[in-house]
Structure 1
Amino acid sequence: MKTLLSMVSLLVLAACTPSQQVKQSNQQAKVKSQEVKSDSRVFTQPYDMRELDNGLKVIVVKTDYPGVVSLQIPVQTGSRNEVEPGKSGFAHFFEHMMFRGTENFSQEQYRAMLKEVGADQNAYTTDDYTNYHVTFINEDLERMLMLEADRFQNLKYSEAQFKTEALAVKGEYLKNSASPFNKLFETVRKNAFTEHTYRHTTMGFLEDIEDMPNQLEYSYEFFDRWYRPEKTAVIVVGDVDVQNTHALVEQYFGEWQRGDYSVDIPVEPAAIGTQSHHIEWESETLPILGLVFRGATADPSIKDKSAIDMMGQVYFGQNSDVYQDLVVSRQLVDALFFYTPDSKDPGLIYILARLTDQENYAEVHQAMLDTIVKARSSMADENKLDDIKSAARYSFANSLDNSEAIGDMLASVVQYNRDPEFINQQYAQLDAITAADVKWAANKYLVDDGRIMVTLAQAEAIESINNDFSLAEKVAAASQPKVAQYQVTDMTNTSDIVDVNFLFNTGPAQDPTGKKGLAALTASMLTNGGSASKSIKDIQKAMLPMAAYFASQVDKEMISMSGRVHREKAEEWLGLVLDSLLNPGFREDDFKRLKTQQINNIQTDLKQTNDEELGKEVLYQKLYPGHPYESLNLGHAADLESITLDDVKAFYREQLTQANLNVGITGNLAAEQQQMMLDRITNELNAIGADKVVIESAPALSGRHVTIVEKQTIPTAVSFGFPIEVNRSHEDWVALWLVRSFFGEHRNSNSFLYERIREARGMNYGNYAYIEYFPAGMYRTQPAANLG
């Protein structure tokens, strides 16, 4: 036996929405043969549907799968119909009793006949219906119809059998209670509904299950009420003769007596306010976070459910940004579900994440909220919607690969109104959904009233998150037109070569104590660590045929991330670059790789193999003791060892902001491409971050100081100097530049010092003068144009 909300069902439904959640169809009434009506239908298999005088719907589908027949009998009773107090779970319990024998055949005889013909039989109960299904070979069709008709009309069981099965159902409940997800569903539903019978799961409340052994008389009443032909369909799919099959169904089910029982299902009142529930799990398990909302009915005459299904795929499906971020890139969760099963009455929308570590709650919670706000405040990509619709249709077609699959699909949709066309109506509604519909659904259903936040973990409580937030306020803030907080230096011209520089007025001077090297490592993560949607390998592969690049440089108070591309490839290149800048991948393996490279640059490239650069860096350190300029731009090796990926993310959020940004553009960049770039920066980059550390004046020097760095090496490098209060905007800058040029620019052989010391006396390799920080001198002859 199975229940709908098993973990397997959850995983399948979450992964395949909407193709799993929107079923299928065709149409007929009384003795009507199916004809293909339009190419837009998803279920095009011919079927013959008739209604007997007693109200039983009979649907026969002849297939080309030789010898095999699937018989499905859905009954329109599930836990939804359990309106009487103390009777929750009875539909599921009674499903068990249907296997206990009849007036004509004992339970043992019934099982022996099934075994004799090699039939595969089972049943399951859902919120809305109970389905009995059996698969066998076509030569046993009459026997199977006889056996099924017999138990639906002549069910019989003893009190001992009844009480034994009641204990078995309790055992099933206890077995299922070992699943964290089952406990989560039970907790959510009990609190989400106050009147409607969806308040309990198909298993029912434990107290009602424990009382089932005392409900023998009620079980007879339950059978008499619900197991009636007008509430049932007989579906035969397989290698059969259609007319003969109808005749056999008429023969064995025709005398089944129609009933007259009906019940009013309580209407759930509108939800008010929010709830938060924590489930403390005693045994070891991965933590779970869920945001749950009121949902919609599966009625295909309205667009609500189809729009919700589409919303789930766009914003939480496997190709969504949040899934790629949380599951694939950062691996903060190992599973992300958007689960909203079809139901006769409005159900629930579950957004669930299973975390890889309890420490991830805050980040996962924020990512889920950000995605909900995005769904409510922005418009989905129509092309993505088209792709999802296409995938849903082909996925549906691929799933109908045998007679049993076709029969099971029909049972799941016929239970609504006993008409296979229900599925075609659902897919037609899905096909009509637009981006505007998706946004409308998000704003109608992903709201504060009725919202439940649920956590499940071994911890007694989760302190890092709370339910004290307003989605309405977040959406209102996100919907306000954003104003750019950055500067643009537009030097576009007619050149085919396009250069773009994202210059942030922050840098290693803002590295926290004990985290020296953080700014440089963050810059490397953005330009050499990939984006949320593409690995650095994918980006490099895409840039190769463009002959384009995107790289970073850092100075004490500046970070430059710049690149170059031919104007013909500018749009594609900008997409890659902006994704890296605005949606960084922040993968752990990239972080470890780049941190190791940065440490090696210090330990090997600088300290061991480049005495000239090492001498300059030691001089800078001695000129600025205790000052933010004291540290090497690449940082300290010991500090780098202690830096975590979370440190990088924090620096990115707090320092690489619009308020610190100047975007420089040269070349023939098209106006629409430029506007696209600026719009994305305005809408996606954090506007304002943390206050920057104030850079004080350089420490005053007195006297003469000498530092000797001893190394086992032949060459000698000498650097000496003192701080000056001059930068490129100072009025004395040009004069000092001329003086520096006279003494000797880096690697310049036509200068005073070079001529006097090297050329005239042959004392060394070179002699150069500087009026600003000049790192990486091995690879350039002039200071970096946009740093300083």
Structure 2
Amino acid sequence: MKKLIFAFVTGMMLSACSTGIKTQTAATDSGNILPYPIYQHKMANGLNVVTVPFDSPGLAAFYIITRVGSRNEVEPGVTGFAHFFEHMMFRGTDKYPKEAYSAALKSTGAAANANTSQDRTEYHMTGNAEKLELMFELEADRFQNLNYSEHEFKTEAGAVKGEYTKNFASPYSQINEKLSETAFTTHTYSHTTMGYFKDIVDMPNQYEYSKTFFDRYYRPEYNTILVVGDVTAKQVNDLAEKYFGDWQHGSYVSKVPTEPQQTETRYTHLQNGSIPPYFSMNYKGPAFSDKQIDMPALDVLSSMVFSPTSDLYKKLVIDEQKVRFIGGGAQDSRDPNLFSIQVSMVNKDDMPYVKDEIEKAIAKVQTEGVDPVKLQRTKSNLKYSFAMSIDTPTAIAQSLSHYIQLTGDPESINRLYALYDDVSEADVKMVANRYFDPTRLTIATISEDEQGALQ
């Protein structure tokens, strides 16, 4: 995954296809950041099948990326269901009840898991490549035939409430929730992946809605199968047709509201003295694009201004020791999201000074640009440190799944990284001026005080 987001707070060409016609493509350009061919096979029902053969004898990573996350929860009162199905999908089917599913999975040498974000839910396992057909059978069965009683539904809804309560004990989770609600007034990014607590409390009463949610989104057009490892494209495509060929295309399309333009700085604060003072500066940024220079330029900027090698980090963390941690980065997402700068303080009284130093560092880029030698060094490091990290089936699958969630197209990884070579001093200066404007800013603070120090 490419992003430079500092996780202090819990953080191709599409194959042409018409009905009944199945085509596939493979990219083998040696200039790509991913030096392995990506084979795509678009099935008649809309399911995309992606295969990356990789020299990993006896090992294969099997991923299904469902391009449904909290972003798609557009109806009031029922947030949290994308994350809920991350849990519910392990409840079993008539053919493979929960215990039978676990036993069959164990025989593949794999352990299945899942996770949810704003833009997608991801199901994954890495196991014995010789058991690939069994992996297909298990996943096809639960994606098409998930079956659970109302009692099982309520039990899992209780588990989700317990997870929320556990996570919400963290002040960082609390401020993240307050930040989302403050920064976004209309778009569904206004609620976190877990959903609103009032909706989670009411979730046990939403059994019928849960079936509606599953019927809407667990359809082939929302999903991509990704297999990386000791496999061939023909093998994967044949298994996909065998086990997913009868999966019926759906008809539902969620309409995600557009966030209106922000016109002034917003603030949110959490009174909590149990952790070191903390604040974040969150500017409205762009949606992900593998065709525009903005995201790569923001990545370069964040590395040059906020990484541990930056002048700002050295001054605030090492020399003056006013800051325990500082980091920043833009969040990849399908719709415009936030560029977040996060700071853990030593003393809350220094918050205004540190904020001022951050704004000075940004203003310097806005007026003077960046050093051309450091720019080239940063671009090279961003590209090739990533390239060195994609060296196992799981690492490759995880990286590709990130871009599949954003565009539906794994080739986005190659198009995006090709843009890094084009980032110029003018581009970095341009994004600094375009996005770092006080009218686009939301400030979140944590301290023992009743009111935030930066308001």
TM over 0.5: yes
On the 8 A contact 1:170/1:209 being kept in 2, the answer is: yes
Does residue 445 (structure 1) correspond to residue 435 (structure 2)? The answer is: yes
Q: CA deviation at 1:47?
A: 2.5
Partner in structure 2 of residue 297 of structure 1:
287
Provide the secondary structure at the position in 1 that maps to 2:51.
Answer: strand
> RMSD over aligned Cα, in angstroms?
2.1
Structure 2 CA distance for aligned equivalents of residues 222 and 15 of structure 1: 30
Q: CA deviation at 1:26?
A: 7.6
Partner in structure 1 of residue 175 of structure 2:
184
Provide the secondary structure at the position in 2 that maps to 1:131.
Answer: strand
AA matched with 2:223 = T
Partner in structure 1 of residue 19 of structure 2:
none
Matches within 5 A, 1:68-147: 68-147=59-138
Does residue 343 (structure 1) correspond to residue 333 (structure 2)? The answer is: yes
Per-residue Cα deviation, 1:618-645 (whole angstroms, up to 9, x for no partner): xxxxxxxxxxxxxxxxxxxxxxxxxxxx
Aligned positions, number:
448
AA matched with 2:382 = A
Partner in structure 1 of residue 259 of structure 2:
268
Structure 1 CA distance for aligned equivalents of residues 419 and 202 of structure 2: 44
Partner in structure 2 of residue 378 of structure 1:
368
Partner in structure 2 of residue 44 of structure 1:
35
Partner in structure 1 of residue 415 of structure 2:
425
Structure 1 CA distance for aligned equivalents of residues 426 and 407 of structure 2: 29
Of the two, which has the highest radius of gyration? Answer: 1
Structure 2 CA distance for aligned equivalents of residues 89 and 340 of structure 1: 24
Q: CA deviation at 1:53?
A: 1.1
AA matched with 2:377 = D
Q: CA deviation at 1:178?
A: 2.3
Structure 1 CA distance for aligned equivalents of residues 90 and 290 of structure 2: 34
Structure 1 CA distance for aligned equivalents of residues 232 and 424 of structure 2: 43
Per-residue Cα deviation, 1:133-160 (whole angstroms, up to 9, x for no partner): 0111112111111000000000001111
Provide the secondary structure at the position in 2 that maps to 1:120.
Answer: coil
Structure 1 CA distance for aligned equivalents of residues 382 and 60 of structure 2: 27
Partner in structure 2 of residue 369 of structure 1:
359
Does residue 31 (structure 1) correspond to residue 31 (structure 2)? The answer is: no
Q: CA deviation at 1:424?
A: 1.4
Residue 227 and residue 444 in structure 1: after superposition, are their counterparts in 2 closer, same or farther (change >3 A)?
A: same
Structure 1 CA distance for aligned equivalents of residues 91 and 454 of structure 2: 50
On the 8 A contact 1:46/1:61 being kept in 2, the answer is: yes
Provide the secondary structure at the position in 1 that maps to 2:79.
Answer: coil
AA matched with 1:106 = P
Structure 1 CA distance for aligned equivalents of residues 141 and 165 of structure 2: 32
Q: CA deviation at 1:377?
A: 1.9
Q: CA deviation at 1:367?
A: 1.4
Q: CA deviation at 1:417?
A: 2.9
Per-residue Cα deviation, 1:112-143 (whole angstroms, up to 9, x for no partner): 22223331210011111111001111121111
AA matched with 1:456 = I
Residue 89 and residue 35 in structure 1: after superposition, are their counterparts in 2 closer, same or farther (change >3 A)?
A: closer
Structure 1 CA distance for aligned equivalents of residues 390 and 14 of structure 2: 18
**Matched-pair identity in %:** 42
Q: CA deviation at 1:308?
A: 1.8
Partner in structure 2 of residue 567 of structure 1:
none
Residue 241 and residue 439 in structure 1: after superposition, are their counterparts in 2 closer, same or farther (change >3 A)?
A: closer
Q: CA deviation at 1:329?
A: 2.0
Provide the secondary structure at the position in 1 that maps to 2:5.
Answer: helix
Residue 175 and residue 297 in structure 1: after superposition, are their counterparts in 2 closer, same or farther (change >3 A)?
A: same
Q: CA deviation at 1:27?
A: 6.8
Provide the secondary structure at the position in 2 that maps to 1:84.
Answer: coil
AA matched with 1:466 = L
Q: Aligned match of 2:210 in 197, 209, 219?
A: 219
Partner in structure 2 of residue 770 of structure 1:
none
AA matched with 1:361 = M
On the 8 A contact 1:26/1:44 being kept in 2, the answer is: no
Higher relative contact order (CA 8 A, sep 6+): 2
On the 8 A contact 1:31/1:48 being kept in 2, the answer is: no
On the 8 A contact 1:43/1:423 being kept in 2, the answer is: yes
Matches within 5 A, 1:497-508: none
AA matched with 2:210 = S
Q: Segments of 4+ in structure 1 off by > 6 A?
A: none
Matches within 5 A, 1:164-175: 164-175=155-166
Structure 2 CA distance for aligned equivalents of residues 318 and 165 of structure 1: 42
AA matched with 1:36 = T
TM-score (normalised: structure 2): 0.94
Provide the secondary structure at the position in 2 that maps to 1:151.
Answer: helix
AA matched with 1:334 = R
Gaps of 5+ in 1: 468-788
Partner in structure 1 of residue 450 of structure 2:
460
On the 8 A contact 2:286/2:295 being kept in 1, the answer is: yes
AA matched with 1:82 = E
Partner in structure 1 of residue 236 of structure 2:
245
Structure 2 CA distance for aligned equivalents of residues 109 and 247 of structure 1: 25
Structure 2 CA distance for aligned equivalents of residues 217 and 210 of structure 1: 16
Per-residue Cα deviation, 1:26-61 (whole angstroms, up to 9, x for no partner): 87555334243352x211211221111111111111
On the 8 A contact 2:24/2:42 being kept in 1, the answer is: no
AA matched with 1:249 = A
Structure 2 CA distance for aligned equivalents of residues 27 and 155 of structure 1: 29
Provide the secondary structure at the position in 1 that maps to 2:439.
Answer: coil
Residue 115 and residue 277 in structure 1: after superposition, are their counterparts in 2 closer, same or farther (change >3 A)?
A: same
Residue 59 and residue 126 in structure 1: after superposition, are their counterparts in 2 closer, same or farther (change >3 A)?
A: same
Q: Aligned match of 1:160 in 144, 151, 154?
A: 151
Matches within 5 A, 1:654-669: none
Q: Aligned match of 2:426 in 411, 436, 444?
A: 436
Provide the secondary structure at the position in 2 that maps to 1:268.
Answer: coil
Partner in structure 1 of residue 6 of structure 2:
14
TM-score (normalised: structure 1): 0.55
Provide the secondary structure at the position in 2 that maps to 1:34.
Answer: strand
On the 8 A contact 2:115/2:123 being kept in 1, the answer is: yes
More displaced 10-residue stretch of structure 1: 271-280 or 219-228: 271-280
Structure 2 CA distance for aligned equivalents of residues 182 and 417 of structure 1: 28
More displaced 10-residue stretch of structure 1: 74-83 or 27-36: 27-36
Q: Aligned match of 1:314 in 280, 304, 312?
A: 304
Q: Aligned match of 1:203 in 184, 194, 201?
A: 194
AA matched with 2:296 = S
On the 8 A contact 2:42/2:49 being kept in 1, the answer is: yes
